[in-house]
Structure formats: C-alpha cells, structure tokens
C-alpha cells in the first residue's frame, strides 16, 4: 500500500525571525479603505468611459441629423422637379445637447 507510505523530504529548521512574514496583515479598517479606494477608481474609470461614449453618440446623432436634412432637401428638389434652391427653406441649426456634470451625475 504505497499511498500510506510516510512522506520523504528534507527537514528544515527555521528561526522565529525567518518564520515571521515581511508584512503584517493590514487591519480590517485598512483593508476596507483599500477596497473602497479600488471601487472608487473603478467607478471613476467607468464614468470617464461613459462620458466619452456619450460624446461619441452625440456626434453620431448630429451627423445623422445633418444627413437626414440633406436627403430631405434632395427629395424635395426631386419631387418638386424644380432645381432652384431658393425655394427650399433653409436648414435650421441643430441644437447640440450640452453634457453637464453636476454633483458627479451626468445629465444631457
């Protein structure tokens, strides 16, 4: 029965100084503080990524609205059969939503 054989290996004698860890484990308060700091950093990174996504989507929306207005104007010209651009009402300015950060809340 080989699995019951005693372990074979070297014996090592260590002094109490060699057994002590280099760093003592942090207190519960220190571990809690570190955990909170890690979560804050993670959520701040998420916030920065979301703001960048909002800016990208806002720009895509602006470009889509411009394309829609251009094609509506082209459709109006083709349907009316009148190539005179003077009769087409001017394209209104697009309202760009402003991103405001207030108390760390993102609003658009």
Q: Is residue 53 part of a domain?
A: yes
Q: Is residue 70 part of a domain?
A: yes
Residue range(s) defining the domain that contains residue 48: 32-85
Domain count, the chain: 1
Asked whether the whole model's pTM tops 0.75, one would answer: no
Q: Is residue 66 part of a domain?
A: yes
Q: Is residue 37 part of a domain?
A: yes
Q: Is residue 67 part of a domain?
A: yes
Q: Is residue 61 part of a domain?
A: yes
Average pLDDT of the chain? Answer: 78
CB burial readout 15-51, b (16+ within 10 A) else e: eeeeeeeeeeeeeeeeeeeeeeeeeeeeeeeeeeeee
Q: Is residue 9 part of a domain?
A: no
What is the per-residue pLDDT across 32-67, written as a single tens digit (0 to 9) for each? 999 999 999 999 999 999 999 999 999 999 999 999
């Amino acid at each position: 029965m080989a699995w019951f054989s005693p372990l074979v290996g070297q014996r090592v004698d260590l002094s109490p100084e060699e057994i002590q860890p280099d760093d003592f484990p942090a207190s519960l308060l220190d571990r809690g503080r570190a955990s909170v700091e890690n979560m804050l950093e993670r959520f701040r990174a998420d916030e920065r990524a979301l703001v960048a996504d909002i800016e990208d989507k806002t720009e895509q929306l602006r470009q889509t609205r411009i394309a829609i207005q251009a094609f509506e104007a082209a459709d109006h010209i083709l349907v009316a059969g009148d190539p005179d651009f003077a009769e087409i009402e001017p394209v209104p300015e697009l309202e760009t939503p402003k991103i405001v950060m207030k108390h760390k809340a993102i609003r658009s």
